[in-house]
Amino acid sequence: MGFLVLVGVFLVSAAVGYRLISNVPSLLHTPLMSGMNALSGVTVLGALAAAALALHSGSRMLGIAAIVLATINVVGGFLVTDRMLRMFKSGK
Amino acid sequence: MTFGIYETAGLAVILAVLAGIRLMSSVERAALGNRLGALSMLAAIALVLWHNGIVDARALYIAMAIGTLIGAIMAFRVTMIRMPQMVALLNGLGGGASLLVALSVILESHDIMVMPARITGQLALVIGALTLSGSLVAAGKLQGLLPQRPVHNRGAGVLSLLFLASIGALAVFATLADGRTAAIASFVVLALALGFGAHFTLPIGGADMPVAISLLNSYSGLAASICGFAVGDILLVSIGAVVGAAGLILTRIMCRAMNRSLIDVLTGSTGRAGGSAPPARPADAAPAAPHTAREMDPASILASASSVVIIPGYGMALAQAQTQVRALYDLLESRGANVRFAIHPVAGRMPGHMNVLLAEVDIPYERLVDMDTINPDFPATDAALIVGACDVVNPAANSAEGTPIYGMPVLRAEDAHSIIVCNMDRKPGYSGVENTLYGKDNVCFMEGNAAETLEGLIARIKSGAGGTAVS
C-alpha cells in the first residue's frame, strides 16, 4: 500500500468516524467507548502477521505477546459492551 | 503493493465496522451494531491469516486463545462501578499491543524499511507506550491503588518538555541509524515514552478521569492507526483512525461539560487558590439539619409530588445506593408520580457512567434524560432529589465569577419547588467550591450514606409519610 494512499484512508476514516460517532446519544457513551476500545485492538491483525512472518525468535515473541494483549482488548471490549448494551431496556 | 483482494476485502470489513457504529446511534439497535463490529473483526482476522498464508501457524491460535480467555473473564466479572478502570486497562493493552508490533517490526526489518515506515514505526512505539503506561496509571487511580487527588508539581511542565525533546531526538536518531544502533535507540525511546505516559497521567485528579480516559481511548486508536502505517495495513490505519476520532469527540464533550481546558486537566491545575488542600469541613452542620427537616419533611414532599427528578452522582455509586434508588423509583411511580433522572455528562468517572449504573438496576432508558433536555423542566418539577452529586448541581457555576466552576453547565435543580439532598456531607465537591444550593430554604439536606437515607425515606413514604415523622 502506498504511503499516500494510507494517508488518504486515515483522513477519510477519521472524518467519517467523527460524523457517525457524533450521532451516538450521550446515553450510550460508556458502551460506545468500550466498543471503540475493542476496535482499537485491531492491532491484532498486525500482530498476527508480525508473529508469523518474523525470522528472529525475539521479534516473534514480541509479536506473540502483542497477539495476547490485543486479543484481550478485542474480546474483553466487545463482550463487556454487549453486556452493557443488553442492560438498556425500554419501559414500554 | 497494489489494491488487490486483501485491500478489497479489507474495505468491506471497514464498511461493516462503520455500519456497526452507525447502528449505535439508536439504543434499540446498538447491541446489533456492536455484534456487527465483533463479527467484522473476526472476519478481518480470518482474512489476515489467509492472506499471509499462516492459517496453520499453531502458536497464533494459542496466543489468541489465551487472550480470549482473559478478556472474557474480565468482561464477565467486572462490575459497572468499575467499568472506568476496565476500559482504562483495555485501552492500555491495546496501546501495549501496538508498541509491541512496532518494536517487533523495527527489530525484524529496520534495514529494509523505507523512511516513512521507519518514522511511523517510531511514532507507533511512542504513542503505544504512553498509552500503555498512562492507562495503567489511570486504572490504578480509579481502582484506588494510586492517590486520586490532583497532584500539581512545580517543574512538571519542564520535565514534560525534557521528555518530549529527548524522545523526539532519539526517535529521529533511530530512523537514521542502521540495524543494531537503531534497535538500541528504539528501546531507549520506548523506556522514555513509558515514563512520559506515567508522568502526564499522574497529576490528573479523580473527577477529571472522564477526560483522561477519553483521551487515552483516542491515543489507543491513534497508536493502532500509526502502527498500520508502519506495517502498511489498510485495516489498522482505517479502524485506528475511527477510534482516534471517537476518543477525540468524547474528550471534547467531557472538557466542555467540566468547564476545563485539556491543558488544565493534563497539568492537574484546578485554578483553585488554595491548591489541592481539601477545604475545611464546616465545623458542625448537624444542629441545622433537624431544624430544616422538621419544617420540610422529605418523605411527605416526595409522597405528594407528581413530578420528581432524581439527580445521581458518583456518590450514589460509592454508597452502592442504586438498588434503593430503583426501589424509590418504583414506589413513586406506583403512586402515580412521573419520575425521571437528570444525567450530567461528567457525573461518574467516565462518559455515560451514570446511565450504565442505572440501566443495571433496570431503570428504563427513556427515564434517563440528558442535561440540556431536562434543564427547562425543573421549574415545573415538584421535587428534585439529589443522590451523591455536588458540583453538577451547584448554582455557583452560574454566578460565582472567578471560581473554577464558573461557566460550567450545571443541572438547574435549584429551580425545582423543593430539593432533597442525600449526600454524605456538606463538603464541597471536587471543584472545591462551596455548594450555594445547600443554603436555600427550599432545600432539605439529609446527611449520611445515601443507601441508608433512601431506605429510611422509602419506609416512611410507605407508612404514610408526614404524620409519623420520626427521623
The enclosing H or E element of B369 equals strand B368-370
Q: Render pLDDT for B137-188 as a digit per residue (tens, 0 to 9).
A: 999 988 888 887 777 777 777 888 899 999 999 998 888 888 888 889 999 9
CB nearest to B24's CB, from A2, A32, A59: A32
Distance from CA of B155 to the nearest CA of A (A): 33
pLDDT tier for residue B294 given thresholds of 50, 70 and 90: very low
Question: Can you tell me the distance from the alpha carbon of B5 to that of B275, in angstroms, rounded to the nearest whole number?
Answer: 59
With respect to residue A38, please indicate whether it lies within any of the assigned structural domains: yes
| Chain A residues in contact with B213 (beta carbon < 8 A) | 33
**Please, which pLDDT band fits residue B225 given cuts at 50, 70 and 90?**
very high
Q: Which range (A32-36, B194-198, B399-403) has the least confidence?
A: B399-403
Q: How many CB atoms lie within 10 A of CB B294?
A: 10
Does any domain span residue A12?
A: no
Using the Cβ of B267 and the Cβ atoms of chain A, whether some distance falls under 8 Å is answered with: no
Position B241 scores a pLDDT of 96
Query: A86 and chain B: CB distance < 8 Å anywhere?
Result: yes
Domain B288-462 -> CATH class: alpha beta
Q: How many residues does chain B have?
A: 471
**Residue B168: predicted pLDDT:** 92
Task: Please check whether residue A8 touches B, CB under 8 A.
Answer: no
**CA atoms of B20 and B118, how far apart (whole Å):** 33
* B404 close contact with A: CB closer than 8 A: no
Contacts of A47 in chain B (CB under 8 A): 97, 100-101, 104
How many whole angstroms separate alpha carbon B259 and alpha carbon B453?
31
H or E, element range at A87? helix A57-87
Contact A1 B108 (CB under 8 A): no
pLDDT band at B292 (very low <50, low <70, confident <90, very high): very low
Give the list of residues 6+ apart from residue B385 with CB closer than 8 angstroms, or none: B302, B308, B309, B310, B311, B328, B419, B420, B422
Position with higher pLDDT, B147 vs B304: B304
Share of chain A above pLDDT 90, in %: 80
User: Is A57 touching B (CB cutoff 8 A)?
Assistant: no
What's the rounded mean pLDDT across residues B435-444? 88
- Catalytic (active-site) positions of B: 391
A8 falls within a domain = no
At B321 the pLDDT is 92
How far apart are the C-alpha atoms of B380 and B382, rounded to whole Å?
A: 7
Sheet holding B368-370, edge to edge: B368-370, B338-343, B307-312, B383-387, B418-422, B443-445
Residue A58 resides in a domain: yes
Q: Which of B1, B35, B365 sits opposite A89 (nearest CB)?
A: B365
Domain boundaries, chain B: 1-77, 79-267, 288-462
Query: In this prediction, what percent of chain A has a pLDDT beyond 70?
Result: 99
Distance, in Å, from the CA atom of A10 to the CA atom of B234, rounded to the nearest integer, reads 9
pLDDT of residue B273: 34
pLDDT score, position B2: 58
Q: Which pLDDT does position B96 carry in this prediction?
A: 96
Residues B9, B11, B12, B14: is their CA dihedral positive or negative? positive
| A4 close contact with B: CB closer than 8 A | no
Residue from the list A28, A40, A73 with its beta carbon closest to the beta carbon of B240: A40
* β-sheet bridge partners, residue B419: B384, B443
Q: Are B414 and B437 in contact (CB under 8 A)?
A: yes
Alpha carbons B307 and B336: distance in angstroms, whole number: 9
Cβ distance B83 to A84 less than 8 Å, yes or no, reads yes
Percent pLDDT > 70 in chain B is 92
pLDDT at B50: 93
The reply to whether B25 touches chain A by the CB within 8 Å rule is yes
Cell numbers for A65: 505477546
User: Looking at chain B from residue 336 to 365, which residues have their Cβ under 8 Å from any Cβ of chain A?
Assistant: 343, 345, 350-353, 355-356, 359-360, 362, 364-365
For the cut 80, the answer to whether the pLDDT of residue B413 exceeds it is yes
When pLDDT is averaged across residues A9-24 and rounded to a whole number, the result is 93
Total domains in chain A come to 1
The reported pLDDT for the residue numbered B272 is: 40
Give how far B220 is from chain A: nearest CA, Å.
6
Q: Decide if A78 and B34 are in contact by the 8 Å CB cutoff.
A: yes
Name the least confident of B39-43, B344-348, B362-366, B401-405: B401-405
Q: What is the mean pLDDT of residues B299-308?
A: 90
Contact A70 B240 (CB under 8 A): no
Q: Which domain holds residue A81?
A: 27-87
pLDDT band at B235 (very low <50, low <70, confident <90, very high): very high
Higher pLDDT, B342 or B436: B342
Return the higher-pLDDT residue of B307 and A54: B307
- List all residues of chain B from 211 to 240 with a beta carbon under 8 Å from chain A: 213-214, 217, 220-221, 223-225, 227-229, 231-240
Residue A1: pLDDT band with limits 50, 70, 90: low
Stronger pLDDT, B278 or B181, i.e. the higher one: B181
Give residue B261's pLDDT. Answer: 80
Pairing of strands B368-370, B443-445: unpaired
pLDDT tens across B331-355, in order?
999 999 999 999 998 888 888 999 9
B74, pLDDT greater than 70 = yes
DSSP class of residue B28 equals: T
- What number is the ipTM of this complex? 0.95
Mean pLDDT for the stretch of residues B248-262: 86
